[in-house]
Chains A and B, each alone.
Chain A
Amino acid sequence: MSENLRQMLDLGLFWEYRSILLAGLAFNFYVFAASASAAIVLGFLAALARVNPLRPLRWLGAVHVETFRNAPDYVMLVWVHFVMPLLIGQAIGMRVTFAPFVSAVIALGLVYSGYLAETFRTGMQAVPRGQIEAARACGMGGVLVMRRIILPQAVRMMLPEAMNNFVSLFKATTIVSLITVPDLMYRVQMVTQQEMRPLPLYTGAALTYFVLIWAVAALARAGSERWRRKIWA
């Protein structure tokens, strides 16, 4: 057992393969960046639909949010990768396939648009009605009220929660290896099959993700708190 323990702590093997593995980590960032952008846009639209006075739009927004927020990441990933191309293919009468990267971005973008929409909505609705009426009384139109009064405050208020959402999204990018996007976890698996030494490789991967996510989360938390404090002392 102590031999095994030594092996686990001997991260030399992980270090040996560092360039391949780091290139894998880059894929986590690509997937993260692309799906985060998609999730922000979609989530904002869904949140707008949910605070809209038009009932059918509100309803549509609610369905979007409840579907994707309650869908497990992995299930969505598999569904988007294997079912969505078939459905599109049937609709346009052509054979369609998604590259794994594309499926990963669509699936994670959809799921996290659900979480973000709720975060956005909570932020928007936290702006007191009176302030919106004051803006309307000054003659501001809907777009101006949203852009100048609601959003600047909503963004500050929802920032900590949005940061949590983004951290979760980054964690979720580790499952894209399951549809063969060559990220860090995928490469760890490949190297493991070659070297037959899972201990240092999986431990190295776990520690890498831990240090990275923990540091980024702590920074994000501190940063967003400070920005909030500036206004609401």
Chain B
Amino acid sequence: MADPAGAPCVEVVDLHKRFGALEVLRGVSFAVDRGSVVSIIGASGSGKSTLLRCINYLEQPTSGEVRIDGEPIGIERRADGSERRRSMREIGRFRRDLGMVFQQFNLWPHLTVLGNVVEAPIRVRGLPRRQAMELARACLERVQLSEKSSEYPARLSGGQQQRVAIARALAMQPKVMLFDEATSSLDPELTGEVLEVMRGLAVDGTTMIVVTHEMGFAREVSDRVIFLHGGLIEEEGPPAQVFGTPRSERCRQFLAKLLH
């Protein structure tokens, strides 16, 4: 019923999320077109992670909608206009289209590097083993880790682990990649290799939503930047505008603090 050609790849509509008395997201709306990169910046505690986690329903939004290619994840609209909450299983089907990379890598330590990457293609997408292996090898190639494929995660550096996590998400061939501060728990000398991989993805036309504290990266790679403050979008626009001539006083302060 939705028209995939016309609808944006990801659409967030009036998203609210509260934890008990704390309202973390207070009505966030934006859209991401296919092939574009959107960066989300903001102070610690402003709700960036929560927003990302609501997009793939790791957190259930309190209200509002997330649409992938025009189709809402959490509810189904029938032809007669009635609505129905989707089951976990159905939500799982949407999640295949949303690759997520976490700050803490979250690799599965009991599986090898290759095992981590082929697990979901085989078990979730149901690909034949051989085809999944080929796909996984290609993904590891993209993050330049082919030679580590039979190591266990514990033997890799942080930067390598994060690249495996990226390969694991890519192997689902998702429509969108979500990055939640992918470099924040890495030593400074290791962030470069991960950002390099992400830059490569952007150049290849991958649709990405990137939560980051790396302003240089956001400025260079994104098509649009969103500044989140207190659970609302405070400033939004092309990087040149948000970083160069921000309209919002708070955004200006935030950026000024980062430069010192």
In the complex, A touching B, CB below 8 Å? yes
A residues with a Cβ closer than 8 A to B are 128, 130-131, 133-142, 144, 148-149, 152-153, 156, 231-233
List residues of chain A with CB within 8 A of the CB of B88. Answer: 141-142
Report Cα–Cα, A233/B156, bound state, in Å. 12
Interface presence of B109 (CB below 8 A): yes
CB < 8 Å neighbour of A138 from B110, B124, B154, B155: B124
A134 touches B106 (CB 8 A): yes
Residues of A within 8 A of B119 (CB): 138, 148
Query: Knowing that A134-B100, A139-B93 are A-B contacts, what are 18 other residue pairs whose CB atoms are under 8 Å apart, sorted by A's residue number?
Result: A130-B106, A131-B106, A134-B102, A134-B108, A136-B58, A136-B95, A137-B99, A137-B169, A138-B96, A138-B120, A138-B124, A139-B92, A139-B125, A139-B172, A144-B123, A148-B123, A231-B109, A231-B152
Check B24 for interface membership: any CB of A closer than 8 A: no
Residue from A133, A135, A136, A153 within 8 A of B109 (CB atoms)? A153
- Interface residue range, chain B: 20 to 34
Give B83-124 as 1s and 0s: 1 = Cβ < 8 Å from A's Cβ atoms.
000001100110110111010101111100000000110011
Q: How far is the CA of A94 from the CA of B165 in the complex (A)?
A: 62
B56 at the interface (CB under 8 A from A): yes
Contact (A144, B124) CB under 8 Å given A130-B102, A139-B92:
yes
Do the beta carbons of A139 and B110 come within 8 Å of each other?
Answer: no
In the docked arrangement, what's the CA distance between A139 and B104, Å? Answer: 19
Q: Report chain A residues within 8 Å CB of B109.
A: 131, 153, 231-232
CA distance in complex: A133, B106 (Å): 8
- Chain B residues contacting A140 (CB-CB under 8 Å) are 92, 120, 123-124
* B168 interfacial contact with A, CB 8 Å: yes
Smallest Cβ-Cβ distance to A134: which chain B residue: B106
Q: How far is the CB of B231 from chain A (nearest CB, A)?
A: 21
- Determine the distance from Cα of A152 to Cα of B109 in the docked complex, in whole angstroms: 10
Interface of B with A (CB < 8 Å)?
56, 58, 88-89, 92-93, 95-96, 98-100, 102, 104, 106-110, 119-120, 123-125, 152, 154-155, 165, 168-169, 172
B104 near A130: Cβ-Cβ < 8 Å: yes
Tally the A-B contacts, defined by beta carbons under 8 Å. 73
Smallest CB–CB gap between A109 and chain B, Å? 29
Docked pose: A188 CA to B108 CA in angstroms: 52
When the two chains form their complex, are residues A139 and B152 in contact, meaning their CB atoms are under 8 A apart?
A: no
Name, among A128, A134, A153, A231, the residue most crowded by chain B CB atoms within 10 Å (CB to CB). Answer: A134
Partner of B95, one of A139, A142, A144: A139
Report Cα–Cα, A138/B101, bound state, in Å: 10
Residues of chain B within 8 A of A153, CB atoms compared:
108-110
The reply to whether B104 and A231 form a contact with Cβ atoms under 8 Å apart is no
B108 with A137: CB separation less than 8 A = no
CB distance from A140 to the nearest CB of B (A): 6
With A232-B109, A232-B154 in contact, do A137 and B123 touch (Cβ < 8 Å)?
no
User: Smallest Cβ distance from A131 to chain B, in angstroms?
Assistant: 5
Distance in angstroms from A127 CB to nearest chain B CB is 9
Whether B123 lies near A128 (C-beta < 8 A) is: no
A77 to chain B, nearest CB (A): 38
Q: Which residues of B contact A231 (CB under 8 A)?
A: 109-110, 152, 154
- Given contacts A130-B102, A131-B108, A232-B109, whether A137 and B155 have CB atoms under 8 Å apart is no
Q: Would you call A137 and B154 a contact (CB within 8 A)?
A: no
Considering the complex, give the chain A residue whose CB is closest to the CB of B153. Answer: A231
Q: Are B106 and A141 in contact (CB under 8 A)?
A: no
Closest CB of chain A to B200's CB: distance in Å?
21
| Cα separation A135 to B152 with both chains bound (whole Å) | 17
In the bound complex, CA of A130 to CA of B89 (Å) = 20
Given contacts A144-B123, A144-B124, A148-B119, contact A137 B110 (CB under 8 A): no
A-B CB contact pairs (8 Å), 9 listed: A133-B102, A135-B120, A138-B168, A140-B120, A141-B88, A141-B92, A152-B110, A153-B108, A231-B110
Which of A134, A139, A149, A233 sits near B96, CB closer than 8 Å? A139
Whether A139 lies near B155 (C-beta < 8 A) is: no
Contact A139-B108, Cβ < 8 Å, known A134-B100, A232-B154: no
Complex: A144 Cα to B172 Cα, angstroms: 16
